[in-house]
Structure 1
């Protein structure tokens, strides 16, 4: 098990690097970047439920299989992970207007495998981290990481709500999002998600948490730039002051 964990970390670190490099050349063809008549797709709602769900059960199975007597800190990290992914894997897709949308089968397969492996390594890391004892609650890394994660989650949730609200009138097309962090960036939802997992990496202080944060940046950073170019090419009145991901910088 220990060897599999370390091998998985190396694999995920390499995948993060490959994802970052390829992201500047290839934009994953889902959402607004799908091409008309794209083949090998599934309905978006069940697709989302399938590929996100491993983060819930892989983390849960690994955690409770390996944790004989989890500390309060480990239980808190478990609860935070589960709270986010129950929202992300179940509540979020049910909130969206994804009925009638499609999602590539390749994305579902990749997402399922990655999320299962990522859930495993993060749960394994939390269970075996010797520093995650009662005193860790007062450690600056935990406190700062928790604050960053909570702010990131709120930005992400608010951005989700704004994007979902754009289709409350029953329309199916894309519009310019307004409000929240969208006042300054094109991909506020990605900004929030990156903050969330950077906070997790800090508060858990594990190699698995760090690699997941780097993978999130590697995946969403280039995609945010693609979104930004798409918005500017699609809408003549798109706000010129907006950046792609980081207010005032990028």
Structure 2
């Protein structure tokens, strides 16, 4: 059954292969979100040693900086290479390539020059997250290339998407900077974050990452882009819920009015 509003804001799928990829992406990312809620966390940051397995059986642990560089670098390279492998295209295609490439380049820069680290992460989780980001970057750009020449959606969202993307990039960087200031170079402990939107939600950096993906989907307007955004948003909302629980258990003075990721709502 076709839904009229979706027909107005999305490109038609260019092939059955792309449709299958969209469905697989949606199912796999939704699963990751529900896995967080039942305690099967991806093991990085404060959840690096969580999970149902004994610590000795959780897998190889690597340095957080190394793991996070592995997260983002293949996706950044996929975006960068696309400018040479898939040159040209219309404005929408160029905007999407730039948005994807710059986002993951920014994350690499933050890993190298902004973040402070408290421990390690499990290699299996690193591989899983890297696979998602790389396949998302390559898939978004590749599918957009396949839409070149197809009829445009009747509602053009790319300029709204660009504005949302810029807000997301700025807000995400700003709150990552605030997090980095909680520790000096020798401090490995956790503190209750303050400043910015941290007084309203415990994970404003996740909120702005969600906006970045919303920006992707509005610029792109392909079903795959919306599937990536929905799945990534669900995962980050679930992760923020578990993060808030962690802070409540760790800090007796954690402000109870502070929500998870959406100010005043959740």
Indicate the TM-score class for this superposition, using the shorter chain for normalisation.
0.7 to 0.9
Q: Please list every run of 5 or more consecutive structure 1 residues that lacks an aligned counterpart in the other structure.
A: none
User: What do the CA deviations read for 1:166-223 (whole angstroms, capped 9, x no partner)?
Assistant: 1136311000111111120011111110111112211221112111111211211111
Q: Please tell me the root mean square deviation across aligned C-alpha atoms, in Å.
A: 2.5
Asked whether the 8 Å contact 2:88–2:94 carries over to 1, the reply is: no
Asked whether the 8 Å contact 2:33–2:239 carries over to 1, the reply is: no
TM-score, normalisation: structure 2: 0.82
Q: Distance in 1 between matches of 2:17 and 2:72?
A: 22
Q: Distance in 2 between matches of 1:131 and 1:204?
A: 14
Aligned to 1:127: 145
Is 1:238 matched with 2:254?
yes
Aligned to 2:172: 156
Of 47, 52, 57, the match for 1:33: 47
TM-score, normalisation: structure 1: 0.87
- Give the match's secondary structure for 2:157: helix
Q: Distance in 1 between matches of 2:26 and 2:61?
A: 28
Q: Please list every run of 5 or more consecutive structure 2 residues that lacks an aligned counterpart in the other structure.
A: 1-13, 50-54
Is 1:215 matched with 2:231?
yes
Aligned to 1:114: 132
Query: By how many angstroms is 1:162 displaced?
Result: 0.6
Is 1:80 matched with 2:120?
no
Query: By how many angstroms is 1:39 displaced?
Result: 4.3
Asked whether the 8 Å contact 1:142–1:203 carries over to 2, the reply is: yes
Q: Distance in 2 between matches of 1:64 and 1:21?
A: 38
| 1:140-219 matches, cutoff 5 A | 141-168=157-184, 170-219=186-235
Q: Distance in 1 between matches of 2:207 and 2:150?
A: 28
| 1:1-80 matches, cutoff 5 A | 4-25=17-38, 26-35=40-49, 39-62=59-82, 64-65=84-85, 67=86, 69-80=88-99
Asked whether the 8 Å contact 1:9–1:121 carries over to 2, the reply is: no
Q: Distance in 2 between matches of 1:105 and 1:194?
A: 25
Over 3 Å counting, the alpha-carbon distance change for 1:3 and 1:17 in structure 2 is same
* Alignment coverage as a number of residue pairs: 244
